[in-house]
Amino acid sequence: MDIKGTIVILNYMKAARAVENIRCLMSQETVFNFKLFVIDNSCDPRQAKILEEETRKYPNAELVINKKNLGYAGGHSVIDGKELGDYIVSVNPDILFKEKDALQKMMDYMDEHRDIGILGPQQINDSGELAMSVRAFPKFYLQVARRMFLRHLPVIKDKVAYDEMRHLDYSVIQDVDWLQDSCVAIRRDLWEKVGGYNGYYFLFMADTEICVRAWKEGYRVVYYPETRVYADGIRLSAGGITKFFSSWIIRQHVIDSLRYQLKHFCEPNPREAYYGKKREINKEKS
108-132 pLDDT per residue, tens: 999 999 999 999 999 999 999 999 9
Strand partners, 186: 88, 118
Burial class (CB in 10 A: 0-12, 13-18, 19+), 249: middle
CA angle 172, 178, 184 (to 5 degrees): 75
Structural domains in the chain?
3-138+167-233 (3.90.550.10)
Residue 249: predicted pLDDT: 84
Cα(118)–Cα(221) distance, rounded to whole angstroms?
Answer: 5
Radius of gyration (C-alpha) of the chain in whole angstroms: 19
Residue 192: predicted pLDDT: 97
Cα(210)–Cα(200) distance, rounded to whole angstroms?
Answer: 12
Low-confidence stretches of the chain (pLDDT < 50) are none
Residue 271: predicted pLDDT: 95
3-state secondary structure of 188: helix
Phi/psi at 219 (5° precision):
-110, 150
Cβ count near 270 (within 10 Å): 20
Number of H helices, E strands in the chain: 10, 10
pTM for this predicted structure: 0.91
Find all residues with CB under 8 Å of 66, minimum gap 6, and list them: 39, 40, 41, 43, 75, 78
3-state secondary structure of 1: coil
Residue 199: predicted pLDDT: 96
Residue 155: predicted pLDDT: 64
